[in-house]
Amino acid sequence: MKITRDEISAQVKTIWPHLVDGLPWATNIAIADEFYWAPRLDQLSELWNSTLVWQYQYNAEYMDCDDFSLLMHAGIVRDRYKQIQERGVPEHEWHSWAVGQCWGNKFRGQINGHAINIAITSDVGVVLIEPQSTPNRINLDIWKANNSNDAVFFIKM
- Check residue 44 and give its pLDDT: 82
The CATH number assigned to the domain holding 51 equals 3.30.460.70
In sequence order, the β-bridge partners of residue 58 are none
- Check residue 138 and give its pLDDT: 59
- Check residue 23 and give its pLDDT: 66
Task: State the Cα–Cα distance between residues 135 and 155, nearest whole angstrom.
Answer: 27
- Give residue 33's domain range: 2-156
- Check residue 67 and give its pLDDT: 94
- Check residue 26 and give its pLDDT: 63
- Total of domains in the chain: 1
Q: What is the pTM of this model?
A: 0.92
- Check residue 136 and give its pLDDT: 58
**DSSP states of 66-132:** HHHHHHHHHHHHHHHHHHHHTT-S-GGG-S-BSEEEEEEEEETTEEEEEEEEEEEETTTEEEEEE--
Q: Taking the CB of residue 50, how many other CB atoms lie within 10 A of it?
A: 14
List the pLDDT tens digit at each of the 157 positions of the chain: 999 999 999 999 999 999 988 766 668 999 999 999 999 998 887 777 777 787 888 888 889 999 999 999 999 999 999 989 998 789 999 999 999 999 999 999 999 999 999 999 999 999 999 998 765 555 678 999 999 999 999 999 9
